[in-house]
Amino acid sequence: MRALFLLALATSAGAQTAPSVFLKNSEIYVSTGGLAPRQLTRDGLGKFQLVQTHDGSRFAFLRETRASVLADIVVMESSGKLVREILFRPAEDNVSGMRGVESLQWISKRRLVASGSLNPSTAEYAVIDVETGKQVAGYLVDGFAWAASPDGAHAAYVGFVPHFTPREYRRPQFCIDDECGLDKSLGYPDRELHLEFTSEPLWSDDSKAAAIIAEEFGTETERVIVRRLGEKPIVLIAPPLLEGNLTDGWDGRAVVVRAGKRVWRLEAGASAFVEK
């Protein structure tokens, strides 16, 4: 019984120590549980944008390459096992989009997001299935206002507006999943209202709703927009003579908005904000 108890303690302690990977002299090392770091790569090639999954079991990075591709993305297990080398967008595929991969981000153990700018005002986010090496979703975004839901199943973003569009003619929208793109604009608001979004989307912990802050062009009146999946948007418009700017956050499934000493809440299932 004592042996089983000690084994359980050891297993529990091991579960709490996730492997940590890091770059040193262009090679990747892993450190686990206080043990001496172990070298995982030995190719002498430059490596960049090293990112690790939340549980530490996998990592990905960009590797220097002479191949005619936009990026060489390498995915490995923390054990050192290669999952897949992804030659992202070979030149012969003639795919337009981001000028280069400027950032990598894990949204689940299986899905990796590569992002980069098309021009000074537009970015592209490409979701890649690392098991197959294929792109499974893509988004054109105004600036870099894009966020995956905690479960990795959804995306909230500000849909792109063509570069060089005069400011007064811009009509960016708060979009969920595939609502917005080159040939569609099904986000919020409609084209009659001109909002400029001043924060990045913020998801609820349960991945069922996202919130963002915007101001109306011309009046600069602030508002918070909440979008629950499959439901109509709920909007809080800042009252006049408000002290301080609006800030938003999630308290469980409720949205909390603050400005100075004033506080509003949108409870789960409610259809309007209530000032507290």
Look at residue 197 and tell me if it is in a domain.
yes
- Give residue 16's pLDDT: 60
Look at residue 206 and tell me if it is in a domain.
yes
- 188/2 Cα distance (integer angstroms): 61
Look at residue 105 and tell me if it is in a domain.
no
- Give residue 120's pLDDT: 94
Look at residue 153 and tell me if it is in a domain.
yes
DSSP string spanning 110-161? SEEEEEEEEETTEEEEEEEETTTTEEEEEEEEEEEEEEE-TTSS-EEEEEP-
Look at residue 82 and tell me if it is in a domain.
no
Look at residue 24 and tell me if it is in a domain.
no
pLDDT along the chain (276 residues), means of 10: 41 64 96 90 96 96 96 97 97 90 97 97 97 97 96 97 95 97 94 96 97 97 97 96 92 96 96 96
Pairing of strands 234-237, 222-228: antiparallel
Per-residue pLDDT reduced to its tens digit, 91-127: 988 888 999 999 999 999 999 999 999 999 999 999 9
The mean predicted confidence, pLDDT, of the chain is 93
Per-residue pLDDT reduced to its tens digit, 151-171: 999 999 999 999 999 999 999
- Give residue 126's pLDDT: 98
- Give residue 7's pLDDT: 39
- 31/35 Cα distance (integer angstroms): 6
Look at residue 158 and tell me if it is in a domain.
yes
Domain count, the chain: 1
* pTM for this entry: 0.90
Could you tell me the residue range of the domain that residue 207 belongs to? 136-276
